[in-house]
Chain A
Amino acid sequence: MAQLELRHIKKSFGETAVLHDISLDVADGEFVSLVGQSGCGKSTLLRIIAGLETPDSGDILIGGQSVTDSAPKDRNIAMVFQDYALYPHMSVGENMSMPPVMARLPLYARLPGMRSITPAGRKARPEIRAEIEKVAKQLRIDHLLDRRPAQLSGGQRQRVALGRALVRNPQVFLMDEPLSNLDAKLRVQVRTEITELHASSGLTFVYVTHDQVEAMTMSDRVALLQAGHLLQVGAPNVLYADPANLDVARFIGSPEINIAAGERGPGGVRLGETTLPAVLDGHGPVRAPVHVGIRPEAIRVLDTPGLLALGQGQGPTLTLVKRMIEDLGPEILIHGHFAHAPDALIRVRAQKSDLYGQSDALAQATSLKVMLNTAQLLFFDADGARLSAKMSDVVETV
């Protein structure tokens, strides 16, 4: 069992507090991503788990045992560094043999040249070699064991770094932005490989990334950090559909969520020329500002040839002034703004129909009629806190 528990971790560098009281539980075999913008403290948190940094206060438990005061090597963890941190002067095989050599040989047998002449060194050599070959085969790098890291491609180096970590036989696997040095195509491929590795190894994974797409696609749960605070922890879908606050909603999802300025009204939330039939939680005076979060796919373009009219039913309608269209292949992204609020950029994701391109109605149009899918709308108060809302069926249009 190797569940990982973080209890009230605090860390400051000098005057700057980077982590404010972080508590997080990772279950045995779970894949948890720490995600956030650069400087949010996610890497520091990972380094604290690894033992490369000491927290100012708080406790780290692995498998129920406190490891807060243990050296990195005694924590039953392995870490893959952002730029791999392979030893450039060693072959792939030597790189991968570092952990077992360090763990099994006494100091005198680890001195230069002593490995081949001391009994302990000679005894350990074949078994270490066998283990390395096993891991190398698993990662399909067994033909590279004699090469130096400089002779490898980025993807191969990545795999060697994974291999060196796996040879440790860890219980918890830590990764610090392992894909950021790879090109876009390779990134998708290695992403799949890491997910498969997680599934086949059954290890507990903690994965740091600034890329919410990576976090969303790979993890069982995502922990979103901002300025040293844990904003929300949950399954990717929960973070997307049910964000705790405006910052989470903004960070998760690509393209970013649209934020429109509304206000509390008597019959719902006023948004430009329409009223959204939402009964908001919590009390606020009428005309109190409300942020309305609208995912790009929660907006449906009406009456435009060439676009799929997905979903039926009624909803509040608005006028979208078109600025620009991005063609993404099967779908398009319309950039524009609502007629009543020219400053707030609104992006709409619309599926192409078979007729796309046959009519220039879309290209000609300067404004489009759009309908909001009320079930997908998110509401936040002026401070960004989420307001839960009930939708009434009545649609009022003024």
Chain B
Amino acid sequence: MEVSQLQRAQTRLAYLLVLPATLLILVIYIIPIILVFLASLTDYTLVSDYYEFVGFENYRTMFGDEVFANAVGNTFFYAALFLPGAFVISLILAIAIQEQKQFRSVLEVLYFLPVTSTLAAMALVWAALMDSGQGVINNTLETVGIPGVNWFGNEDVVLYSLAIISLWSIIGFNMVLFLAGLTSIPQNLYEAAAMDGADHPIDKFFRVTWPMLGPTAMFVAVTSSITAFKLFDTVAILTQGGPDRASEVFLYLAFLEGFEYFNMGYSAALSLFFLGIIFLFALIQALFTARNVHY
């Protein structure tokens, strides 16, 4: 009797202790997701109190919609522009800066500065820089004899322009992550490599740096991918999806549907699709980092 009473008390205590965290997760994550899912099964709009369940009608519309296909296409095209740069440029910068002794901290701060600034505000600065008429960039190009580019007005260029701005804002952050990863590689591995004959920079990179950087690289790749799919604020401020839907990316479409056209039910379906993609990336990261840590 005594023992079972003690056990029961302990069980109660255990539940009590996990209760706050459970409640928070429920309130912040689980319940909203369920609500959004439920909303995605309705034709609920912000302008009408009346709504009814339409089953998976919203999803059917979504996958048959040209606008949706265009937004997904734009997002992936943008991600394909953004991701290699966000990864490779940061890695090269990190390796180059790590070899510096004197100016390392100055360079780190300089490259990290864009991360500390508000992207929404900086987008306006970029708008001024990239202005097709009086922008600094076009003016400079024209003095050298290269014709200016209509950065935000040309539908073939606009995603490149957005990718350049996003790269500017994320490279410092990824670089700091890579620097942290590089710093944690034991120096004596490079010395062992030098003894073993792997003293060529290419050998050093592929035999020591790259494999030891595995978990960091995975983290950078996944967070950058999520950032790529989250592209929203520069689009909302600079292009509003234009010209002619050329920069209408996924999250911006969801925003348009929900808060411009008030199609909350459809917007909820779009959001859940977005959540699914993000979840996929998070899952990949969790699976790979668990397997790829060597120490």
Contacts and interface: CB of A to CB of B under 8 A. Distances in A.
A50 B195 CA distance: 8
B262 to A, nearest CB: 53
A352 interface: no
Nearest to A82: B188
A89 B214 contact: yes
Contacts of B191: 52, 81, 85
Contacts of A51: 194
Interface stretch (A4-12, A103-111, A337-345): A103-111
B294 A88 contact: yes
Contacts of A150: 294-295
A199 B1 CA distance: 70
B194 A52 contact: yes
A75 to B, nearest CB: 9
Interface-central residue, B186, B193, B195, B295, by most chain A CB under 10 Å: B195
Interface residues of B, number: 23
Interface in B66-94: none
Contacts of B195: 50, 52, 72-73, 77-79, 99, 168
A112 interface: yes
A135 B66 CA distance: 65
A148 B188 CA distance: 18
Contacts of B196: 73, 98-99, 102, 164, 168
Contacts of B294: 88-89, 148, 150
Given A85-B186, A85-B192, A102 B206 contact: no
Given A81-B191, A88-B294, A148-B294, A98 B198 contact: yes
A71 B145 CA distance: 49
B208 A87 contact: yes
Contacts of B25: none
Contacts of A87: 189, 192, 207-208, 211
A203 to B, nearest CB: 15
B8 interface: no
B206 A81 contact: no
B199 A71 contact: yes
A83 interface: yes
Q: Which size class do A's interface residues fall under? A: 20 to 34
B202 A99 contact: no
B202 A111 contact: yes
Contacts of A79: 192, 195
B91 to A, nearest CB: 16
Interface string A149-171: 01000000000000010001000
A331 B26 CA distance: 71
Interface in A92-119: 98-99, 102-103, 107, 110-112
B194 A72 contact: yes
Nearest to A81: B188
Contact of A83 (B188, B193, B197, B200): B188
B212 interface: yes
Interface string A58-84: 000000000000011100011101010
Contacts of B214: 89
Interface in B196-247: 196-200, 202-203, 206-208, 211-212, 214
A87 B203 CA distance: 13
Contacts of B192: 79, 81, 85-87, 164
Nearest to A98: B196
Nearest to B294: A88
Interface string B31-72: 000000000000000000000000000000000000000000
A89 B211 contact: yes
B70 to A, nearest CB: 38
A244 B135 CA distance: 80
B194 A102 contact: no
B189 to A, nearest CB: 6
Given A89-B212, A89-B294, A73 B197 contact: yes
A99 B197 contact: yes
Contacts of B193: 98
Interface string B159-200: 000000000000000000000000000101101111111111
A150 B295 CA distance: 6
A35 B202 CA distance: 37
Interface in B125-176: none
A9 B8 CA distance: 74
B197 A98 contact: yes
13 contacts: A50-B195, A73-B196, A85-B188, A88-B294, A89-B211, A89-B212, A89-B214, A98-B207, A102-B198, A107-B200, A107-B203, A110-B203, A164-B196
The 9 closest A-B pairs by CB, nearest first: A102-B197, A88-B294, A85-B192, A73-B197, A89-B211, A85-B188, A98-B196, A99-B196, A72-B194
Given A81-B192, A98-B207, 16 more contacts: A50-B195, A71-B194, A71-B199, A72-B195, A73-B194, A79-B195, A81-B191, A83-B188, A85-B191, A98-B196, A99-B195, A102-B196, A103-B197, A110-B203, A110-B206, A168-B196
